């Protein structure tokens, strides 16, 4: 699983509140491995911001140096708000949506977030295998630490979490659901409108709406019941 191979590394974070916020984001998207390089003491702000992810924050591995933090990883990914073109290969990044496709999923991956005030140093970026940046507006392109973590971890976990959520909570409407829903809708329309052109327009419009919608099986059954009971009331 992609979340399991990733370790999130915060390099010399200044504020315990940011550590708590990142831990919360990690738990939101299913990541559990946190490494802290020279962190501040965790106080009330960190505990408050972590909410139900306090266990991730409290179990984080604490190290004294950048070198110690990245030791043993197959791929090291740095993050930066600043990037250059072909002339500056040191800061030529990939974008968040490309990150999960850029490495062998069997490897052990470190995702680094730099200091809140000036990010990762050039010599630290040189130690990274790749750099990722989040495109933002040129007037203020730097996101805060928790925002950056949320965007990147969402992208990394998106497909896996969507598959789990869809399997658990969402059964898309099938042909039988659709057939009965449209049957009772058509019968209701026939009761409401007198003229054929009005009936045809209402039926065609509803079919267009359903064709564009991602309707679940439960939603289809609910609407079928509404149409059926409405028709009976009118009669």
Position 4 scores a pLDDT of 58
Query: Rounded to an integer, what distance in angstroms lies between the CA atom of residue 94 and that of residue 146?
Result: 20
Residue 2 has pLDDT above 60, yes or no: no
Nearest to 145 by CA among 3, 1, 4, 8: 8
pLDDT confidence bin for 88, thresholds 50/70/90: very low
According to DSSP, the β-strands at 75-79 and 34-37 are unpaired
pTM of the model: 0.70
Q: Give the SS3 label for residue 192.
A: helix
Residue with tokens 């968040």: 96
Secondary structure letter of residue 13 according to DSSP: -
**Beta carbons within 10 angstroms of residue 93's beta carbon:** 21
Specify burial of residue 194 (Cβ count, 10 A radius: 0-12, 13-18, 19+): exposed
């Amino acid at each position: 699983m992609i979340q399991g191979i990733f370790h999130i590394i915060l390099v010399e974070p200044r504020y315990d509140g940011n550590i708590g916020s990142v831990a919360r984001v990690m738990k939101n998207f299913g990541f559990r491995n946190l490494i802290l390089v020279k962190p501040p003491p965790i106080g009330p702000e960190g505990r408050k911001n972590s909410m139900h992810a306090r266990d991730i924050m409290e179990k984080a591995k604490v190290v004294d140096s950048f070198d110690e933090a990245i030791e043993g990883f197959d791929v090291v990914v740095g993050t930066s708000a600043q990037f250059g073109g072909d002339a500056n290969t040191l800061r030529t990044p990939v974008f968040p949506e490309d990150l999960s496709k850029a490495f062998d999923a069997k490897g052990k991956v470190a995702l680094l977030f730099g200091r809140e005030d000036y990010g990762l140093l050039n010599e630290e970026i040189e130690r990274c295998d790749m750099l990722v940046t989040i495109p933002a507006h040129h007037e203020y392109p730097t996101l805060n630490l928790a925002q950056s973590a949320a965007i990147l971890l969402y992208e990394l976990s998106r497909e896996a979490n969507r598959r789990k959520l869809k399997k658990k909570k969402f059964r898309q409407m099938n042909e039988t659901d659709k057939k009965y829903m449209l049957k009772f809708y058509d019968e209701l329309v026939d009761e409401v409108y007198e003229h054929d052109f009005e009936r045809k327009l209402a039926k065609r419009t509803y079919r267009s709406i359903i064709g564009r919608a991602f309707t679940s099986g439960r939603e289809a059954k609910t609407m079928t019941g509404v149409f059926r009971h409405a028709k009976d009331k009118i009669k």
